[in-house]
Amino acid sequence: MIPLDEVPDDWLVVSLDGIGAPVVGVEKIEEGEECLRALRALEKELGVKVDALISAEIGEANSMEPMLTAAEAGLPVVDGDGMGRAFPEMQMCSWPIYGHREAPGAMAEEKGSIVVIRDTPDDVWLDRISRSVVVAMGAAAGLATNPMRGQFVKHAAVPGTITQALNLGRAVLEAHATNADPVETVIRQENGKLLMTSKTADLERHLKGGFAVGHMALEGFGAFQGDKGRIDLQNEFLLFRRNGAVEVCVPDLIVVLDADTGLPIATEMLRYGQRIAVLCLPAHALLRSPEALAVVGPAAFGYPDITFTPMGGS
């Protein structure tokens, strides 16, 4: 792994991630070289070799994809990513937000199909075309995009997020080993805030256009007895409302944990009746700028009347 500020300016860095519906990924296990084949296809399209890999998003499965492919290809992975969390669409990454074109891109799936997208009118179209392709590929594929120079990556990437994930994961696993409170550990480690402890009273979730979309209704317990909560989701959690009023929204991160174990619960693992702890963690400053909010703020997810107000921390 190479620290972000140590990446040579002239290095060619490619953004890697898996694309598809998380719900499908539970049952359709990846073959393991999807991103490697996408990387090789992109190199063939460009006619050059790539120097390093970076994650489009540090959250969930895509925290692993660049490291898996880096190990397979013998390349370094950069300590940073394009979101500092996870978002559902490709243009919601700091590379296009700060001026880099995502195309060309290459996609590959486990059966051997490879699709190269040479160019698109804009980055939203790259996401649309990729979504159509990934549906044909069985809703899960590897994706290589954004051939970027190191000079750009150094100012556009959220820095240090692999190290952040490593330290957070280590702290939580240590909390489990020592019977410490894992929820409190996450809040302390990430300057987060506990929004609610609650029971999932209703859950509406379906697949739409390759995304898991819906909402969950929450009934507070403990210190939050009597509160009614609601979380809207599109793969990731978008909004948290308490008693009808929006308290937290994208790009700040809404985290749903099992209230007893402190382990995170992915969208596809949400169930009626679960006892959960809802936290929020602050987004990196790169995602709170006006140009970023135009792409990852509430209006970008269909909430034009909601204004982003940064969470204040604990």
Q: Which residues bind other proteins (CB under 8 A)?
A: 1-3, 6, 18, 20, 22, 25-26, 29-30, 32, 57-65, 67-68, 71, 76-77, 79, 84-86, 88, 161-162, 164-170, 172-173, 186, 190, 212, 233-237, 253-257, 263-268, 281
Q: Smaller CB distance to other proteins: residue 120 or 131?
A: 131
Q: Smaller CB distance to other proteins: residue 30 or 123?
A: 30
The owner of tokens 């979504």 is 131
SS (H, E, C) 15-74: EEEEEECHHHHCCCCCCCCHHHHHHHHHHHHHCCCCCEEEECCCCHHHHCHHHHHHHHHC
What distance separates the 2 farthest-apart alpha carbons in the chain? Answer: 61
Residues in contact with 111: Cβ distance below 8 Å, sequence separation at least 6, in sequence order: none
Q: Smaller CB distance to other proteins: residue 43 or 57?
A: 57
Residue 149 near residue 7 (C-beta atoms within 8 A): no
Q: Give the 3-state secondary structure of residue 226.
A: coil
Q: Smaller CB distance to other proteins: residue 3 or 101?
A: 3
CB of 256 to other proteins, least distance (A): 6
Q: Which of 251, 311, 312 is nearest to 84 (CA)?
A: 251
CB of 257 to other proteins, least distance (A): 7
The backbone torsions φ and ψ at residue 30, rounded to the nearest 5 degrees and listed phi first, read -65, 150
CB of 226 to other proteins, least distance (A): 25
Helix 161-177 and helix 182-190, axial crossing angle in degrees, nearest 10: 150
Q: Smaller CB distance to other proteins: residue 44 or 170?
A: 170
Q: Give the 3-state secondary structure of residue 131.
A: helix
CB of 45 to other proteins, least distance (A): 25
CB of 188 to other proteins, least distance (A): 13
Residue 121 near residue 129 (C-beta atoms within 8 A): no
Q: Smaller CB distance to other proteins: residue 105 or 210?
A: 210
Q: Smaller CB distance to other proteins: residue 174 or 202?
A: 174
Q: Which residues pair with 237 in a beta bridge?
A: 233
Q: Which residues pair with 234 in a beta bridge?
A: 213, 236
CB of 42 to other proteins, least distance (A): 20
CB of 93 to other proteins, least distance (A): 13
